[in-house]
Amino acid sequence: AQSVTQLGSHVSVSEGALVLLRCNYSSSVPPYLFWYVQYPNQGLQLLLKYTTGATLVKGINGFEAEFKKSETSFHLTKPSAHMSDAAEYFCAVSDGRSSYKLIFGSGTRLLVRP
Amino acid sequence: DGGITQSPKYLFRKEGQNVTLSCEQNLNHDAMYWYRQDPGQGLRLIYYSQIVNDFQKGDIAEGYSVSREKKESFPLTVTSAQKNPTAFYLCASSHTGELFFGEGSRLTVL
């Protein structure tokens, strides 16, 4: 069975500081991995995804994530936080083959201090 | 523009009433999904459909029902059997593994 763990329900950073949101997964097959962002009372928007190939994935709004198989991790980073980055972030995993069901983590709310 | 439309955005229901949430997509995607979101619990899968006239239960299907008569539409009915229906409901569709989400429907039971 697949599962996703996001460490830290809330992360607070100063504007301009590094953003690091942690995600670890469990999967019996090579996973497809995703990061989504959600603003209040809205749906989820895809930030980036890893399916195959290059393990460092670049997404929208300056975010990137690195797939590390040995650590079963897919942490999300951004070099310099902006106030507009304040939102909730979800990591998700699927096997991408037998079905496209995504299993989501519980989410991390990013707070950006001025 | 292509996308997913959910309606209504806000809905209030009295206990004991069924309510149906609409989800329409014009992305020509085969697969559609319903997720429930509660604070601090992430998204949990209610039902999903990979093709017209076929659907499968997700992790929390009890108290919910769906239909998939058309490729574009995947309505969700929250029945009176759902004990705690107040939540934010998200519909999504996919073609190659990536989910595209609607704006959500917030259901409140009074």
Task: State residue A99's pLDDT score.
Answer: 58
List the single residue in A34, A100, A106 with the smallest CB-CB distance to B31: A100
Instruction: Kindly tell me if the per-residue pLDDT of B90 is higher than 90.
Output: yes
Average pLDDT over residues B11-34: 94
Instruction: Kindly tell me if the per-residue pLDDT of B56 is higher than 70.
Output: yes
Task: State residue A96's pLDDT score.
Answer: 59
The CA distance from B7 to B91, in Å, is 10
Angle at B92 between CA B70 and CA A53, to 5 degrees: 120
Relative to beta strand B4-7, strand B64-66 is: unpaired
Of the listed ranges A12-26, A90-104, B18-32, B96-110, the one predicted with least confidence: A90-104
Is cis: bond before B8, omega within 30 of 0? yes
- The gap from C-alpha A34 to its chain's centroid, in whole angstroms, comes to 6
**What confidence tier does B1 reach under pLDDT thresholds 50, 70, 90?**
low
**What confidence tier does B16 reach under pLDDT thresholds 50, 70, 90?**
confident
Query: Which chain B residue is nearest to residue A97, measuring alpha carbons?
Result: B97
Task: State residue A95's pLDDT score.
Answer: 67
Average pLDDT over residues B64-82: 96
Q: How far apart are the first and last CA of chain A?
A: 41
Residues of B in contact with A45 (CB under 8 A): 101
Average pLDDT of chain B to the nearest whole number: 93
Q: Which residues lie across from A11 on neighbouring strands?
A: A110
- Cβ-contact B97, A96 below 8 angstroms: yes
Residue B79, phi then psi, degrees to nearest 5? -90, 170
- Cβ-contact A29, A97 below 8 angstroms: yes
Q: Which residues lie across from B25 on neighbouring strands?
A: B4
Task: State residue A101's pLDDT score.
Answer: 79
The CA distance from A35 to B52, in Å, is 28
Query: Which chain A residue is nearest to residue B104, measuring alpha carbons?
Result: A43
Q: Flag whether residue B40 sits within 8 Å of chain A, measured between CB atoms.
A: yes
pLDDT in tens, A7-65: 999 999 999 999 999 999 998 777 889 999 999 888 999 999 998 888 899 999 999 99
**What confidence tier does A84 reach under pLDDT thresholds 50, 70, 90?**
very high
Instruction: Kindly tell me if the per-residue pLDDT of B96 is higher than 80.
Output: no
Q: Quote the tokens at residue A76.
A: 């999300």
